[in-house]
């Protein structure tokens, strides 16, 4: 092979490799494009076309799975009520329109904790407190909304502050134990190195897209010329369409928890 030929062979190889490389880059970015195309839009985006479902959802416990605490969401007695059980005395009170519980903290002593969110509605309601490192904890004291009284989780047990089951410990940590099923599109975002969370969600509570999946593609499809000209797409790009199997319904309510 003379030098000229070698040069052309090398050039050709280089060109072929470059084409291959750019082609793979393109298909990768195309794939990413279609993956990110579907987005969570929130329940407000469904209202105009699905008013009946939206009204029903507003009246459901799913709408109340997690709510900012205020006079219309908090059911518990925060009128200076006192509850003693299992060696712990707690007081529930209001100050400047906010809700507080005075109860046993991590150090074994009583402190005031501000209730950030109410969790659930009926037949019981629980309460979330913000802690450092992005954590939220569920108080042991819970409201029985059927009989209107306070009660303890793990009633009858003497749980010490350093116990895994103490409300300040990992068993009662919202980020890991509760959040995935009680919000929409939750990302736990746990940082192992700093033992902290940067938990995010699209919507606070169990909204339409928590069960039906992100709806951007669905709404684009309904607005498309293809749909208007009569082209039907099974499920209309949504999860849990009509006549879903019992199996898929159960899997929606109790999904296999994944590391996110």
User: Contact between 88 and ligand HEC (CB under 6 A)?
Assistant: no
Three-class DSSP category at 190: strand
For ligand HEC, the binding residues in 92-111 under the rule CB under 6 A are none
Among 50, 91, 116, 187, binds ligand HEC (CB under 6 A): 50
Give the residue, chosen from 23, 24, 32, 61, that forms a contact with ligand HEC under the rule CB under 6 A: 61
- Site size toward ligand HEC, by CB under 6 A: 48
The dihedral region occupied by 129, where left means phi > 0, alpha psi between -120 and 50, and beta the remainder, is beta
| Dihedral, CA of residue 130, residue 132, residue 134 and residue 140, to nearest 10 | -40
Q: Which among 250, 256, 251, 216 has a CA at the least distance from the CA of 236?
A: 216
* Residues in 213-242 that interact with ligand HEC by CB under 6 A: 215, 218-219, 222, 232, 235-236, 238, 240-242
Task: Specify the stretch interacting with ligand HEC by CB under 6 A; choose among 2-10, 11-19, 190-198, 248-256.
Answer: 248-256
**Which is closer to ligand HEC, CB of 46 or CB of 74?**
46
Sign of the CA dihedral running 111, 167, 193, 204 = negative
DSSP 69: -
141 sits near ligand HEC (criterion: CB under 6 A): no
Shortest reach from residue 243's CB to ligand HEC, in Å: 5
Stretch in the footprint of ligand HEC (CB under 6 A) among 9-17, 40-48, 67-75, 92-100: 40-48
Near ligand HEC in 169-188, by CB under 6 A: 177-178, 180-182
Which residues fall within 8 angstroms of residue 128, CB to CB, at 6 or more apart? 66, 115, 116, 117, 118, 119, 136, 137, 138, 139, 174
How far is Cα 136 from Cα 197, in angstroms, rounded to an integer? Answer: 9
**Segment 78-82 long-range contacts (CB within 8 Å, at least 24 positions apart):** 81/150
Q: Which of 74, 101, 159, 208 binds ligand HEC (CB under 6 A)?
A: 208
What lies within 8 Å, CB to CB, of 88 at 6+ separation is: 103, 104, 140, 152
Q: Is 168 near ligand HEC (CB under 6 A)?
A: no
Q: Exactly one of 26, 49, 82, 250 binds ligand HEC (CB under 6 A); which one?
A: 49
Summarize as ranges the residues that interact with ligand HEC (CB under 6 A): 41, 43, 45-46, 48-50, 53-54, 57, 61-62, 64, 119-122, 124-126, 138, 177-178, 180-182, 206, 208-212, 215, 218-219, 222, 232, 235-236, 238, 240-244, 249, 253-254
């Amino acid at each position: 092979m003379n030098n000229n030929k070698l040069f052309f062979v090398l050039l050709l190889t280089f060109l072929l490799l470059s084409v291959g490389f750019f082609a793979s880059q393109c298909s990768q970015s195309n794939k990413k494009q279609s993956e990110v195309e579907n987005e969570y839009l929130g329940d407000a985006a469904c209202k105009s076309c699905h008013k009946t479902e939206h009204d029903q959802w507003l009246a459901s416990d799913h709408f109340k799975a997690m709510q900012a605490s205020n006079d219309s969401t908090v059911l518990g007695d925060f009128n200076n009520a006192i509850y003693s059980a299992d060696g712990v005395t707690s007081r529930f009170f209001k100050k400047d329109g906010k809700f507080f519980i005075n109860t046993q903290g991590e150090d074994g002593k009583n402190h005031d904790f501000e209730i950030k969110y109410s969790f659930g509605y009926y037949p019981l309601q629980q309460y979330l407190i913000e802690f450092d490192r992005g954590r939220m904890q569920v108080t042991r004291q819970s409201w029985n909304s059927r009989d209107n009284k306070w009660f303890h989780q793990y009633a009858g047990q003497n749980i010490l502050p350093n116990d895994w089951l103490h409300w300040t410990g990992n068993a009662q940590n919202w980020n890991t134990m509760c959040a995935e099923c009680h919000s929409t599109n939750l990302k736990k975002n746990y940082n192992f190195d700093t033992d902290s969370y940067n938990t995010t969600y699209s919507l606070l509570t169990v909204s339409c897209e928590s069960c039906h999946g992100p709806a951007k593609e669905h709404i684009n499809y309904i607005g498309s010329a293809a749909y208007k000209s009569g082209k039907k797409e099974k499920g209309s790009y949504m999860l849990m369409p009509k006549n879903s199997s019992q199996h898929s319904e159960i899997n929606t309510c109790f999904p296999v928890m994944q590391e996110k």
